[in-house]
Amino acid sequence: MKIDTKIIAHRGSKGTRPENTLISFQTAIDEGADGIETDVHFSKDNQLVVMHDETVDRTTNGSGRIVDKNLAEIKHLDAGIRFSPEFKGTAVPTLQEVVDLLIKDHFTGIFNLELKTNKIQYPGIEETVFNYFASVDFPFQLIYSSFNAHSLEILNQLDPQLAGAKLFKTAAKQAKALKKDHMIADFHPDIRWLKRHPFFAPAQNLRPWTVNSTEDMQYCFERNMAAIITDYPARAIQVRTEMGRGLE
């Protein structure tokens, strides 16, 4: 059996580089990842900022909420120093800077953009993101995801052909209802939940997160899931390669 499961780098090569930074995404691409996953918020001045948390505290040398800072303030933060002194001076990227990097690298894999609207709504962010991508000629496969069903519904209304996926830890019924209503195409469940509910959905509709252990990687590859989302893309590629050789 050929393993077709794609390897999507979670916030870039998060396990080895400062997450959601250009160096993290570049490392994942250089390592051969099939996809890149990242997160987007609105700044105070409605700029599209790439960061996971709603606040800058965990990953930068600053403090406070993204929504309370304008882009110039965010650009003065150091997004590398907390990970390692080696990456001191690494900037927080905008969505456009990430897309520019992917275009420069002629990246044709998956770009999974999570709209972080589950805690702060960011009114209008869906339309802003949609209009941005409508203005860009990009080479990659764009997939939207969110924990917030309303964001996915808005994106589906803007373009029913968009590829959307519902992120969830346990809210499987809501995810299935969205798929039944053709609001999404695929599911992005927590791998821990998925292993307890192995018959939830066909493998081709599953991209679980965060698949970091060799055991979990093997579990997903054996079932030929659509993709895994991992902090360690290089390790996942190695495991997939070794398993593929064993199946020859």
Q: Which residues are catalytic?
A: 10, 52
What is the C-alpha to C-alpha distance for residues 174 and 161, in angstroms, rounded to an integer?
A: 20
What is the C-alpha to C-alpha distance for residues 168 and 86, in angstroms, rounded to an integer?
A: 34
**E strands in the chain:** 6-10, 35-42, 48-50, 110-115, 141-146, 164-168, 186-189, 227-230
What is the C-alpha to C-alpha distance for residues 149 and 136, in angstroms, rounded to an integer?
A: 25
Place of tokens 């998956």: 110
For residue 10, with 0-12 CB atoms within 10 Å meaning exposed, 13-18 middle and 19 or more buried, which class applies?
Answer: buried
Provide CB contacts within 8 A for 209, sequence distance 6+: 10, 37, 167, 188, 189, 190, 191, 228, 229, 230
Asked if residues 94 and 47 have their Cβ atoms less than 8 Å apart, the reply is yes
